Structure formats: C-alpha cells, structure tokens
C-alpha cells in the first residue's frame, strides 16, 4: 500500500545531506524498518536497542551514525542524526495527489479574492469574499474558507477543512481533514434572570496560525473573543485537539492527540505535551516543559521540567479498594 | 482583525438598557479589555481585580456598576451587571457573513420540503425529503440535513454541519462547523457466537434540540435508541463534546469542551460542567451542580454542589513515587 | 419521531429465529421498552430487574427466555438471548434513506474507478483515481474518497466522511459522519537546529478496515507510517475515538467514545474499552481485556481481566484536601 518511487542512493544522499558509503547507483524503492526492509528499501538505526538487527536486515541501505558504520556491511548513509535523515528521505517517497490539478469548475468564490495563478483547488470548495490564497497552495474538495481569510504559500488543506473568516494561515502549513479554525470561543455571560440563562459574548477576534504548522484531523481552534488566538511557527498539533479562544502556543511546541487547552492560556516554545492532557484556562506554561499523557494542568508551570498527574493502572478490584482509601486520605492522615 | 462597526454611545446605551453618563454622540468602533482598549473602544469592569486599570485605560467608554462610576472620569455606562451588558453590546459589533444571500443554485432539495422564503443557504448544501426550515435561518456551505428534520427560525448552521434525519432544532439555535447531530448511538448486543461478535441495535429514536442552544465545533450528539436524545432550551455546549443516545440535558446547563456523556444519563438545569469531564451512563445529576475539569462522574449526583476527582499536577519524578504508593494504599492503611 | 413499519409477528419470529407463542397475525409497528411500549410495539425482558413490568406493560409482544414465558400473558417470542433477538428485530424497523437513489449528477470521479452498477451516491461526493466501490454501497452527500481506496460491498458512508487514499474498507462496514480515515500519523523528527524545529516523517502506510466494522461520528484513524493501521473484522468504534498510526485492533473489540490510542499499540480480540480511556503507544493489550472509563493505560496488559485507574468522585472541598495529601503520599508513608 506504499507509494513506490525509485531514487538512486546518490540522489538520496545529496538530498538528505548525508555521506554515502557504498553503491551510488543502487536504486531504492521505499522506506522500512530494519526488521521489515527488503533489498529495495532504505532503513535506519537511531536506537542501539535495534543494533543487533543490522546483522540480519535485508535493507538495501541503512542510515546510521558514522561511528556505527562498521556494524553494517551493506550500503549506508552516515549522518549525525539518523532519524532526522530518515525523515528527510521520507520526503522523496511521498506523493501528494492533486486536489484537481487546477481550479475545479465547481469552486465558488466570493468577491475580491486574490488567488495565486498556480493554486490547485478541488471540487466543491467554497471561498468567501476578500480571501487571499498564496502560490502553490493545495485546497482539497469540500473545504470552506470564510471572508477575509489569508492562506499562505504552499499551504495544504485536506478535504472538508473549515476555516472561518478573519484567519491567517502561514506558509507551508498543513491542515488535515475536518479541522475547524475560527469557530466561536465559548463565551457567555449570565443574564441574571433567575433561570440561569446566558447572553452570548460575540467573538470578535480572529486566529493567527504561523508558518510550517501542522494540524491533525478533527482539531478545533476557536477565534479570539477580542484579540486573536495564536499558533506560532512550527507548532505541531495532532488529531482532535481543542484550542479555546485567546490561547497562545509558542514556536515548535508539539501536542499529541485529544489534548484540550482552555481559554486565554499561554504555552511556551518547544514544549512537548502528550495525549489527552487537560489544561485549564488563564494560566501560563513556560518554554521547554514536558507534560505526560492524561495530566490535568490546573495551575501555571513556571519551571522547565516534566509534569504529571493521575493514578496508575491496576486491576479493577484492587483499584477500587485503593480509590476508596483515597477518598478518606485526609482523615486517615489526620488520625495517624 | 476585528469587525469594525460604528455606534453612538446613546444607541449602545439604549440597546443594552444601561445608563449613559457622558457624551451621547461619542462614536464607538469596537470592544476591548481595559488594558488594550483605544479611545474608539468600549470596555468594562466586572471584577475588582482590574479596578486600578481605570486610572490608565484609554477606553472611550467603560461599562461599570453605578457605585463604581466615580472611579472613572470618562464616558461610562452604568448597569447592575457589567459583564452581561458588555456581552449584550457585543451583539452590535458582530457581523454574520451571508451564506450566499439567497438559496444558492447548487443546493439540492429532496421532495416535499417547506423552506421559508427568507432563508440564506450556501453552496453545496444537501437537504433531504420533508425537511422544514424556518424564517431567517442561515445554512452555510456544505451542510447536510436529513429527511424529516425540522430547523427552527433564525437557526445558524455553520459550514459542513451534518444533521441526520428526524431531528428537531429549535429557534435561534446556533450550531458550529463539523457538528454531527443524530448519528447512531453505540448499541450492540452480543450474538453469543463464542467469537465475541455483535448484533447492531438499530437506533430508531431522534434528537430534540431546544431553542437558544449553542453547539460548538466538532461536537457529536447521537440519536436515541428508541426515544429521543434531548437538549433543552438555552443549553450551551462547547467544542468536541460527546452526547450519547438518550441523554437528557436540562435548561441553561453549560458544558465545556471535550466532555463526554454516556448513554441514558440525565443532567439537570443550570449545571456548569467543565472541560474533559467523563460522565458514565444511566445516572442522574440534579439541577445546579458544578463539576470541575477532568472529573470522572461514575455515580448519580443527588445534591447541589461542586464535585471533583483526579490528582493534582506534580513534577513527574515526584508524581511517580506518590502514584506507586497509591497503588498500595489499601494495604498501607490496613497495616497501620 | 420513530420510523414506523408494520410486520406480522410470524414474520418477526421467522426473521429473528425465535419461537412465537401467541397470535401470528398480530401487527407490530415499532419497538419500545416495557415501560413505554404501546399495544402496537414489541418489547423485551433481558434483565430480571424489570420483571415486575411484565404485569403492567402494554406491549403487543414481549421477547423473553423460555423459562420466563409464564410471567407474561400476552403474545411472546421465546429465545435464549432476548437482547440479541430484540437487536435482530430492530433491523426490521429501520429505514436507510437513499443517498440519492443513483449516482448523483454532481459526483466527481477521478480516472480508472471501478464502481459497482448498483451503488447509491449522494450529491457532491468527490472520488479520486483508481477507486473501487463494491455492490450495494451507499455513499452519502459530501463524502471524499482518495486515490486507490477500495470500498467493499454494502458499505455505508454517512455524509461528509473523509477517506484518504490507499485505504481498504471491508464489506458491510458502516462509517458515520465526519469520520476521517487515513490522515497522517503524528510523526516528526527533531532537526537538531537548537530552536526545537521538526522534520515531518512522511506517512507512507495505509489503513485496512475489516468487514462488519462500525465507526462512530467524528472518529479519526491515522494511516501507518510505513505499514498499515489495522482495524480487524467486527470491531465497533464509538464517536470521537482517536486511533494513531500503526495501531492494530483485534476482531470484535468494542471501544466507547472519546478513547485515544497512541501509535503502534496493539489491542487484542474481544476487548471492551469504556469511554475517555487513554492508551499510550508501543504497548500490547491481550485478548478479552476490559478497561473502565477514563483509565490511563501506561503499560502493556498481559493478563485477561478488568483494569482501571483514577480517583473517585467527591465534593470539591473534600477532594481538594485528599488531593493535597496525595501529592505528599510518598513522604507520608516514609515517615510512618
């Protein structure tokens, strides 16, 4: 099921900036792990745990550290960062299907749009008024782009992405299917009518998404209440993440699936946040923080480090007993 | 990036039902916080924490309590509920882009639909048979409305909303992009074949959504198994919430993002449920309950109050030690 | 709001393989619970808790165990698995609306597709090149099917489903609205540039979904990095589940809403996983495991059984005191 493209090892080495030791004319047709690679595949060693596989792999070439090259008799690419080099090589073996190869006849444009001449827009895309789309952008079928939104160069919007009006999307950013950008933040004021009813706080801000951002399928990013929600350059967001209004996420922070970030929270640069984390609103997390899976972040994090919460997996019958003790923990300790 | 509309202060005071103290002809062009407001903006004070900002704000007008009016020298609107008044004023400064301004030529209708004369329906909307759409409704591009569904007056469906058949949506309700209403509830009976296979329980109920409801992007609401799933008037649902079959949510309850509610659970009126909460099936939560973020609700809540679960944030190395103790907590206490 | 279809009891008994005791010509118009059934409805007893309702129910027929038949005076169907039989009968009372009843004129096809003659494809569906769609498939409006994807016989894709290229969907599989299958897995290699930037690992694998699978609204399933993500035959996935790249889920496993499974994890057959569970990557869960709601699964599960984590619901003021003790639990125990 993989896309198969053929490259000479010499071409691969040059593209990835690695040193070729072996047959420069060797043809490579795909990428794979050491365990599964065939003679047509290139593989990599980035973790010593897998070192023993070098003796048995069928890979036609292995990417590894210079100091490891004696461990493999076949063709190799040496580099100081084998996993990065492997990732770089993966670019050569991916094919982006065209959205339609042109602007499909069914695309609907509002007035006063500025669309670069070389964009590729699929069927049934609907584009509002005053929208700008940059060079080389690919907009797949069924996307919606609201009024006055600006889409940068080389952006990819996969099918059925919805971007409301007044959004900026930076160059080279990739947004997967069913992402929503610019929906209303959750803002309601109690009317004080005694029945608990709410007055909507209309959400008048926008969303600014930087360059080289990737946003996974089904993620939602709300527009700001007054200012903008901001996703900085290089941020990587996995699937089904929720970003509330006025959140700010710093450069190159990566967040795994199903994490939710409440309103007005600010997250630093280079953070790595695991999946299903919950982060409350109106707090600040500094740069270079790591948060483990399913953690509840209920206060600001002011110091670099790794943070967690929760209780560990257990058999249900044992868990139930421990959990019952937890609910009396304070009185147990008081009575010691 | 804000929509800018101009209003006289007199017009704003009348619209919001507040008392104007100052220049009735002053033009206001936007809303902002005390810290960020310009001379063209209106702002508000609803929390004494920000009182000192009244001395330095550039706001052209501030909404505040009558007893606070001496704290601000400029134009002001006095009211007993400044945040509500601010929210009300926000209505004057929002613009709803048209879906197409008419019924777009690409809209597909099934047979026997009753569509009010003044609806605004965007491109590529697909509407089933026997659908009713009320006056003043706005249906954005790419929405789907299944057979026999009824959409009330002034409803807004943002792009790519999917509403299956046999759904009622009340007047003035707003549904954001990628919401799904009426998908099948998760119902399967073990076949008893010894291989663990399942027989689908076909989901024959519908969904009833009241008036003045708001539903955030990516939320899913399943149809009932036999009866209906019910979202009462005035309920506010944030993004990526999951409402299973036969759930009932009472009037004016507000639920934050990523909360999941399992089947047949009934939630009272005026509850406020924070984000990423999990609520098991077949339980009842009474009126006026508050639940904090990421809480697991595994039993009925019969008493008004605030409820929580979970453990607090900690550095991972410290958390790991405490968590290990948790898993032996029952035996530790037994041995005391 | 229910679909109403009429069947004779004899027809129902034959279809469901149950024994009819009573009037074979009795007409049944719907299904309902014992409490709510009218004389036109069929109901069931599968839990002795509801036995007393047999004395008062208005149901026109009740499905029950042979040994319980003396408890109900009216028409009955006897069977060894009443809930399964009820589920089977539900098939007779559901109606699938046509997508368009044909291939709608607005459908866009890429080159070299193989589409069975009897498929029903709704408006604005966009289909890539080399796509195969089997007999009896129903593809609702607004779906997207990428290049080289194969859709089996009798598959149902509800509106706005997105299936990227190189996906296999087995026969009789049902996929609800806004599901995304085949989006990129979350794979990025640190570039080592000192600024924390990331190089995308292009995702070259596909997704294989078996037969008789059901996938709930808003669920996302990523394509594999090199190999495929695999959902085996008979798997049932509820709404808003996240399946990361290279996950494997075994036959007939059922997973409730909002559960997230990280990359390369393998889950056995016949597991039942409750809602909002988080499962970390690169672990293995054996067959026949049950996991309770909101559990964090941070290590492999090698033994059949039921597993849990978390702390129980409590009033917030009490919870706060216990939670504070949790964060000092290790030192409390050390000091005992």
Q: Which residue has the tokens 């996993």?
A: A83
Q: How far is CA C204 from the centre of its chain?
A: 26
Judging contacts by C-beta atoms under 8 Å, the chain A residues touching residue C165 are: 97
Retrieve residue B151's tokens. 């959409």
Judging contacts by C-beta atoms under 8 Å, the chain B residues touching residue C140 are: 144
Give the count of Cβ contacts less than 8 A between chain A and B: 253
Are residues B126 and C159, on separate chains, in Cβ contact within 8 Å?
A: yes
User: Is pLDDT above 60 for A2?
Assistant: no
Residue B188 sits at the chain A interface (C-beta within 8 Å): no
Q: How far is CA B325 from the centre of its chain?
A: 40
Interface of C with A in 72-131 (CB under 8 A): 106, 108, 124, 126, 128-129
Give the separation between CA B256 and CA B275, rounded to whole angstroms. Answer: 4
What ipTM did this prediction achieve? 0.96
Please give the average per-residue pLDDT across B38-45, as a whole number.
Answer: 96
* A10: phi then psi, degrees, rounded to nearest 5: -60, -40
Give the separation between CA C119 and CA B200, rounded to whole angstroms. Answer: 23
- How near does any CA of chain C get to the CA of B153, in Å? 20
Q: Please, which residues bridge with residue A125 across strands?
A: none
Question: Which of C113, C129, C144, C317 is the best mutation test for A, with the most CBs of A within 10 A?
Answer: C144
Those chains having 3 or more beta-carbon pairs within 8 angstroms of chain A are B, C
Are residues C325 and A329, on separate chains, in Cβ contact within 8 Å?
A: yes
| Stated pTM of the model | 0.97
Convert the pLDDT of each residue in B243-276 to its tens digit.
Answer: 999 999 999 999 999 999 999 999 999 999 999 9
Residue B186 sits at the chain C interface (C-beta within 8 Å): yes
Interface of C with B in 273-302 (CB under 8 A): 275-276, 293-294
Judging contacts by C-beta atoms under 8 Å, the chain A residues touching residue C242 are: 218, 239-240, 257-258, 275
Give the separation between CA C91 and CA B204, rounded to whole angstroms. Answer: 10
**Angle value at C-alpha C303, between C242 and C333, nearest 5 degrees:** 90
Give the closest residue to C265 by CA, choosing from C304, C218, C293, C300.
Answer: C300
Give the separation between CA B331 and CA B176, rounded to whole angstroms. Answer: 50
**Angle value at C-alpha A234, between A231 and A239, nearest 5 degrees:** 70
What sign results for the dihedral spanned by CA atoms C317, C322, C328, C334?
Answer: positive
Of A8, A135, A176, A245, the active-site residue reads A245
Q: What is the pLDDT along chain C (336 residues), one digit of tens a residue?
A: 344 589 999 999 999 999 999 999 999 999 999 999 999 999 999 988 999 999 999 999 999 999 999 999 999 999 999 999 999 999 999 989 999 999 999 999 999 999 999 999 999 999 999 999 999 999 999 999 999 999 999 999 999 999 999 999 999 999 999 999 999 999 999 999 999 999 999 999 999 999 999 999 999 999 999 999 999 999 999 999 999 999 999 999 999 999 999 999 999 999 999 999 999 999 999 999 999 999 999 999 999 999 999 999 999 999 999 999 999 999 999 998
Convert the pLDDT of each residue in B119-169 to its tens digit.
Answer: 999 999 999 999 999 999 999 999 999 999 999 999 999 999 999 999 999
- Strand-pair category, C229-231 with C248-249: parallel
Residue A165 sits at the chain B interface (C-beta within 8 Å): yes
Long-range contacts of C258-267 (CB under 8 A, 24+ apart): C258/A258, C258/B242, C258/B258, C258/B260, C258/B278, C260/A240, C260/A257, C260/A258, C260/A275, C260/A276, C262/A256, C262/A257, C262/A275, C262/A293, C263/C185, C263/C186, C263/C187, C263/C222, C263/C225
Q: pLDDT value at position B87?
A: 97
Contacts (Cβ under 8 Å, ≥6 apart) of C333: B325, B332
């Amino acid at each position: 099921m993989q896309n198969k493209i053929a490259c000479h090892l010499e071409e691969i080495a040059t593209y990835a900036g690695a040193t070729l030791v072996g047959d420069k004319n060797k043809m490579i047709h795909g990428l794979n792990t050491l365990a599964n690679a065939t003679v047509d595949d290139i593989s990599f060693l980035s973790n010593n745990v897998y070192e023993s596989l070098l003796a048995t792999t069928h890979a036609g070439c292995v990417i590894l550290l210079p100091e490891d090259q004696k461990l493999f008799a076949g063709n190799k690419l040496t580099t100081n960062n084998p996993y990065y080099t492997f990732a770089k090589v993966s670019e050569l073996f991916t094919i982006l299907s065209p959205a339609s190869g042109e602007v499909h006849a069914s695309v609907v444009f509002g007035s006063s749009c500025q669309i670069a001449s070389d964009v590729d827009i699929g069927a049934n895309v609907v584009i509002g008024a005053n929208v700008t789309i940059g060079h080389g952008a690919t907009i797949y079928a069924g996307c919606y782009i609201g009024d006055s939104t600006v889409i940068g160069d080389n952006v990819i919007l996969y099918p059925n992405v919805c971007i409301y009006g007044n959004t900026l999307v930076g160059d080279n950013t990739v947004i997967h299917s069913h992402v929503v950008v610019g929906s209303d933040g959750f803002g309601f004021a109690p009317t004080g009518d005694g029945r608990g009813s709410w007055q909507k706080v209309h959400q008048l801000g926008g969303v600014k998404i930087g360059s080289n951002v990737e946003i996974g399928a089904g993620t939602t990013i709300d527009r700001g209440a007054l200012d903008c929600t901001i996703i900085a350059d290089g941020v990587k967001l996995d699937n089904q993440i929720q970003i509330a209004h006025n959140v700010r996420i710093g450069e190159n922070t990566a967040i795994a699936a199903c994490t939710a970030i409440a309103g007005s929270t600010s997250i630093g640069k280079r953070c790595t946040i695991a999946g299903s984390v919950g982060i409350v609103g109106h707090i600040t997390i500094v740069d270079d923080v790591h948060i483990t899976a399913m953690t509840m972040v209920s206060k600001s994090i002011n110091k670099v480090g790794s943070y967690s919460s929760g209780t560990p997996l257990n058999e249900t019958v044992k868990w139930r007993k421990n959990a019952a003790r937890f609910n009396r923990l304070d009185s147990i300790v008081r009575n010691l």
